[in-house]
Structure formats: structure tokens, C-alpha cells
Amino acid sequence: MNAGSRTDWFLIRHAPVQGQEARYYGQLDVAAEPVSPVVAAGLSRLLPPVAVWMSSPLSRTRATVLALKLGADPIAIQDFTEQNFGLWQGRGHNEVYAANKGFDWNNPAKIRPPEGESFADLTARIANAMERLTAHYAGHSIVAVTHAGVIRSAIGFALGLDPGTALRIDIAPLSLTRLTCRIVNGEPVWSLGCVNYEVVV
């Protein structure tokens, strides 16, 4: 990245999903609910007119992109897929807890589901992706429609938070989080513009 360059990230969580209340749906490709045109218009007004658009490969993020920007063709970023809950995917939170009471639920960021990844694993994946993509698209504005865990991880990366702290950040469906990276004395310096901003209708 060039000295003085500024890269702005506009991170949006996808629209609510259907029929997955209190379940670990993670990397399952479940459908998103339709986005209200009023909410879409309000959220779109907060976004830059010229930007690089990205999403995860899952259909709920791409559908949300199309609701915000008709005809958009977002770059699918594999690393921006939600946390992999492994054998827990599709199972209810209470069911998983009842079957795994021996885990340290006071430190959920470190719990790794069978055949999946922990939230701490996810934060490492997202830190690498944010560094790589910020360098590649230095000086641009980036709109990324992705998942709650990914956005929590990106905030944690930008602010130097430990995974356990980042996991406690609320990220609502269709909320906006803005991060900015500036180069100061040859080093990237991150700042947080807003987090979990929701359009009220």
C-alpha cells in the first residue's frame, strides 16, 4: 500500500435467514428473507457510489447484494464464508449444549466443533483475508456483504481485540459496519467508523 493511501471497508451482514432460529447454520447455504425495498434504499444511501463489491460464496449474501445494488456481480471471497460449525451445523443451540456440557462454555471462542473450526480459527482466517484484500485493493472503497462471525472477526482484527472479546460484538442482519485503513509512517492504522448500524424504517 502506498503512503497516505486510504481503504474504506463497508461490511454488511446478510438479510435474516428462514427457519434457522437458535440453530448453528454457519456454512449451510440457507435462503435469506426478501429485503424490504425501504431498508435496501436506506442502506444503499450509506454506501459509496463507486466501490468494489464482494460477498461470501453463499446464496444469502449474494441475494442481499442484489437487493442493495441491482445487477451487481460481487466477487465471491471464499475466506468470507461464515464459521464452519462442522457436525453441529443444522443442530439447535440447546441440543448441542446438552450433548457437550464438558466443554468450556465460559470461553466459547476456543470451542472447536467436531470437523469444524472455532471462532478463534475464524478470526485468524479473516485477519489474513483482510490484510490480503486491503493490500490488493488499496485506495478503494470495498462493500462486502458477509456474515456476523466474519464481521466480528474483521472488527477484532482492526482493533486488536482477542477472539473472546470480538465474539461479544452484536451484528444484526442488514447492519452496516465501517472500517478504514490508512498508511501512517509506512504502517497500516485501522479505525472504526461505525458498528452494527441499522436502518430504521
The string of pLDDT tens digits covering residues 148-189 is 999 999 999 999 999 999 999 999 999 999 999 999 999 999
Arithmetic mean of pLDDT, 55-84: 97
For residues 60 and 50, the answer to whether their CB atoms sit within 8 Å is no
- How far apart CA 198 and CA 75 sit, in angstroms, is 24
Q: Report the share of the chain in percent with pLDDT over 90.
A: 94
Q: What pLDDT is recorded for position 21?
A: 86
For residues 48 and 8, the answer to whether their CB atoms sit within 8 Å is yes
Q: What pLDDT is recorded for position 2?
A: 58
Q: What pLDDT is recorded for position 3?
A: 52
Arithmetic mean of pLDDT, 57-85: 97
What integer best gives the mean pLDDT of the chain? 96
For residues 48 and 180, the answer to whether their CB atoms sit within 8 Å is no
| DSSP secondary structure code for residue 188 in this structure | E
**Helix H or strand E segment including 165:** helix 163-166
Question: What is the phi/psi pair of residue 132, to 5°?
Answer: -65, -45
How many C-beta neighbours within 10 Å does residue 37 have? 10
Q: What pLDDT is recorded for position 18?
A: 85
- How far apart CA 103 and CA 191 sit, in angstroms, is 35
Exposure string for 150-180, b = 16+ CB within 10 A, e = fewer: bbbbbbbbbeebebbebbebebebbbbbbbe
